[in-house]
Amino acid sequence: MEAAYYKEYFHLEREHWYFRARNQIIMEHIDKVVAGANDLKILNVGAGTGFTSQLLEKHGTVKSLEYDKDCFDFVKGKLDIDIDNGSILELPYADHEFDVVCAFDVIEHVEDDQLGVDELKRVCKKNGVVVVTVPAYQFLWSKHDEVNHHFRRYKKNQLLRLFDDSEKFIYHSYYNFWLFLPIAFFRVINNLFSITKTTEEDTGSDFGVIKQDSIISKFLYQLFYSETFFVKRFIKLPFGVSLISSWRNS
């Protein structure tokens, strides 16, 4: 994460319509998976600016991990959360230590994503759960992926292969389904014709296109958040801008 971006991200993650809807979808799915438990030991890998760690606290004690040292220092000085500086490729925790292991939009940041997933599984307790999200479809690649140092975007089968034991999946699906077609159209056209110009100072974020307090942003929030209906009921969506999966270490 570039320095300018993680500072902007602190506010985006808490205020922007996309993150508010996305985080609610993820958290309501976790609520369903853990059946309302509130005494769990949770690991949040790639915690970023810490908001998802704060949301996870409703289910127990949360240990956060952030690889980017500048981001780690920023969060350490801003929030009262238990956070370590380290890598998903070498998690500094014992085998089978956590009831829930989360990595929200993380494994696309590492070249050896198989090792990253193996580490998530290693620290997950027996009968514990690993929950991950990733960006979907390589043809949706944009400046946003470059700025965030992504190595790839995923098709569903690519993500499932990383976990190997497919029968242990609780749920896996694309999400951000309703907005897929307009986002895909914009990104493909932009990639072909470079309509959107960026400079070295730009964050490359997609999130500044629509004003926060506009009617459009409120509509987009409601539209995106409505996908909770499907995710909470484990109904799989056929395509989307992102993927979510939950895997039980049974």
d(CA 188, CA 113): 26
pLDDT tens for each residue of 142-176: 988 998 899 999 999 999 999 987 789 999 999 99
- With a CB cutoff of 8 Å and minimum separation 6, the contacts of 54 are 79, 81
Is residue 2 scored above 70 in pLDDT? no
Q: Where are the domains of the chain?
A: 3-248
The confidence band for 90, taking pLDDT boundaries of 50, 70 and 90, is: very high
How confident is the model at residue 9, as a pLDDT?
A: 86
Is residue 86 scored above 90 in pLDDT? yes
d(CA 70, CA 86): 12
d(CA 234, CA 231): 5
How confident is the model at residue 233, as a pLDDT?
A: 94
Domain 3-248 has CATH 3.40.50.300: no
How confident is the model at residue 201, as a pLDDT?
A: 44
How confident is the model at residue 197, as a pLDDT?
A: 54
How confident is the model at residue 211, as a pLDDT?
A: 60
pLDDT tens for each residue of 96-144: 999 999 999 999 999 999 999 999 999 999 999 999 999 999 999 998 8
Buried b (16+ CB within 10 A) or exposed e, 39-71: ebbbbbbbbbbbbbbbbbeebbebbbbbbbeeb
Average pLDDT over residues 22-29: 98
pLDDT tens for each residue of 216-244: 999 999 999 999 999 999 999 999 999 99
Question: Which position has the token pair 């004003």?
Answer: 211
